[in-house]
């Protein structure tokens, strides 16, 4: 058997070993009852209620400062219950170019109307449509780990 076939055989033996281990552990876990999930802060998470007690949305605040260049703006209000799907985006009720002035909200950036290659589009790019990929709401919670981060010099 040549060296390449030997590596291939060892790789498959490893994969099969991992699969058997997962099955054995899974069977043992199933016998113990349902798995309990917890957040990093130790709050139980229910599969039926993914938001649960572990999520606390902060109160509305003035626009929040940015900590580094090109940081997506933070969301200074609750988004609890906001629907963002292929068919509808609740954020656009206030942040679209047509409604931002009336809603007294920040309008979305022109960059949200461009493709990866920089071509302009007439509507929001699919890459920018799901706001929570980049923009996050703030909560009043203690950090999970220590942090000594300082904002970039250009933003002081």
Distance CA 2, CA 40 (A): 48
Does 135 show up as a binding residue in the annotation? Answer: yes
- Neighbour tally for 125: CB within 10 Å: 15
CB of 137 closer than 8 Å to CB of 78: yes
**What's residue 66's pLDDT?**
83
Does 87 show up as a binding residue in the annotation? Answer: no
Does 52 show up as a binding residue in the annotation? Answer: no
Smallest CA-to-CA distance from 60 within 83, 44, 79 is with 79
CA 7 vs CA 10, 15, 17, 18, 21: distances in Å: 5, 12, 15, 17, 21
Distance CA 153, CA 38 (A): 38
Does 19 show up as a binding residue in the annotation? Answer: no
Give pTM, 2 decimals.
Answer: 0.57
**What's residue 63's pLDDT?**
80
Does 91 show up as a binding residue in the annotation? Answer: yes
CATH 1.10.1130.10 fits 55-142, yes or no: yes
Does 112 show up as a binding residue in the annotation? Answer: yes
**Encoded tokens for 52:** 């649960």
User: What residue spans define the domains of the chain?
Assistant: 3-35, 55-142
**What's residue 93's pLDDT?**
92
Binned average pLDDT, 10 residues per bin, the chain of 156 residues: 60 68 58 72 65 57 82 87 90 92 90 92 91 84 82 70
Distance CA 119, CA 31 (A): 56
Distance CA 45, CA 130 (A): 24
């Amino acid at each position: 058997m040549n060296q390449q076939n030997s590596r291939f055989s060892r790789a498959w033996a490893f994969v099969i070993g991992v699969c058997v281990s997962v099955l054995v552990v899974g069977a043992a876990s199933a016998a113990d009852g349902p798995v309990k999930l917890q957040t990093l802060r130790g709050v139980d998470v229910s599969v039926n209620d993914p938001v649960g007690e572990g999520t606390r949305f902060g109160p509305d605040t003035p626009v929040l400062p940015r900590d580094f260049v090109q940081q997506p703006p933070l969301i200074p209000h609750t988004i609890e219950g906001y629907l963002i799907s292929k068919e509808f985006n609740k954020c656009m009720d206030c942040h679209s170019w047509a409604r931002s002035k009336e809603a007294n909200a920040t309008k979305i950036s022109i960059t949200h109307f461009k493709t990866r290659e920089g071509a302009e589009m007439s509507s929001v790019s699919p890459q920018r449509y799901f706001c929570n990929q980049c923009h996050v709401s703030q909560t009043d919670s203690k950090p999970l780990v220590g942090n000594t981060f300082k904002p970039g010099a250009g933003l002081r």
